[in-house]
Amino acid sequence: MTVEQLPGTLVVEVGERQAWPFLTFLDTESDPEREMRLYLDTDWRITEAGEAGPGAAVDPDNPLPELVRLNNRHVEGAVQNADGSLDIAFDDNLTLRISGEPTATTAGEAWWLSPWLREPQADR
């Protein structure tokens, strides 16, 4: 899965695996549909269109209530910036802005995309 494949997907799950909050994206254009996850291990914010500043602070001990705002939202665009940060624009003028910089508690990458969780099966 690559950042370029995010537009057109739908957020169908928000959760946490071990220490990492994640979003699951559904690709409804493939047949059969397939899913992938975006894991977060750095600072992030959700901003609204036209909002000045960095957006609301996220409680690092309980990030899921803020991420739930993105559930059932369609991705309109996604860009990985030169500094490694990731911006994902959603259909309701919300943008998820993920830092490319690790924090003191980052275990590996600041954020990462899983492989497709459900790959289309070849005709048998």
Choose the weakest-confidence range: 8-12, 84-88, 106-110.
106-110
pTM over 0.75: yes
Look at 60 and 13; give whichever has higher pLDDT: 13
**Mean of pLDDT over the chain:** 88
Nearest to 109 by CA among 48, 56, 38, 46: 38
From residue 54, give the alpha-carbon distance in Å to each of 9, 35, 38: 25, 29, 21
State residue 124's pLDDT score.
Answer: 40
Find out whether 63 and 14 touch, Cβ atoms under 8 Å: no
Query: With contact defined as beta carbons under 8 Å apart, do 29 and 42 qualify?
Result: no
* CA-to-CA dists, residue 101 to 41, 77, 85, 106, 111, angstroms: 10, 21, 7, 9, 9
Give backbone dihedrals phi and psi of 2, rounded to 5 degrees, phi first: -125, 160
List pLDDT tens digits, range 33-63.
Answer: 899 999 999 999 999 876 655 555 677 677 8
| Per-residue pLDDT band at 15 (split at 50, 70, 90) | very high
Q: What is the pLDDT of residues 97-114, one digit of tens each?
A: 999 999 998 989 999 999
**pLDDT above 80 for 120:** no
Residue 39 pLDDT: 96
